[in-house]
Amino acid sequence: MEDYKKEFIEFMIDCEVLKFGDFVTKSGRKTPFFVNTGFYRTGTQLRRLGEYYAKAIQNTFGMDFDVLFGPAYKGIPLTVATTMAISEFYDADIRYCSNRKEVKDHGDKGILLGSPIADGDKVVIIEDVTTAGTSIGETLPIIQAQGDVDVLGLVVSVDRMERGKGTKSALKEIEETYGFKTTAIVTMADVVEHLYNRPYKGKVIIDDALKAAIDAYYEQYGAE
């Protein structure tokens, strides 16, 4: 596993974004782990988060694209932080763009915030965590309505590796439905590999009991 992935897992723990215990997802699944990206709350945290996203984008898509699109609302700071990191570390001047929840009819009119999207643009979509893939169905029409664009793919922070609408993961379903690449900074398999029976700051976060609970969860809800 690449060092930046290990660092990102520890970063999520430090920010209390990744937690372990007893939780219930929006879909009603009882889960022993939870990812809440709303706990990235400071400028320092967002700067580092943007760097990790930039590395994941570089590894999968390279930097030959024009626009990084983040669906409102959580995608707005992600596009800003990540395009700034791309500029700093890869010397690429990528435009950022998000949608508004309501169309603005005065001043800077329209549904977009940030850069316009034009014919011929290559677009990468950035999100926090995708479990069901429903938001892509809302995001793609907005992007495609802007012109003849090429959507290269989707990057998220964590792949929960759960079944989507069928037996495959949500990210794999998105790939097959829309015909573009998907990637994540880390998968939950990466998380378990890095933390299982390995102390972090003097504490074993995933011990045998928690590992058994995670395994049981994936037996029930894990993707193929």
98 vs 36: CA distance, rounded Å: 21
Which of the following is catalytic: 6, 26, 30, 104?
104
Prior bond of 200 cis (ω within 30°): no
Distances from the Cα of 211 to the Cα of 23, 160, 203, 208, angstroms: 15, 15, 15, 5
Which strand (E) or helix (H) includes residue 144? helix 134-144
95 vs 212: CA distance, rounded Å: 44
194 is catalytic: no
104 is catalytic: yes
Which of the following is catalytic: 26, 101, 106, 203?
106
Residues annotated catalytic, as ranges = 104, 106
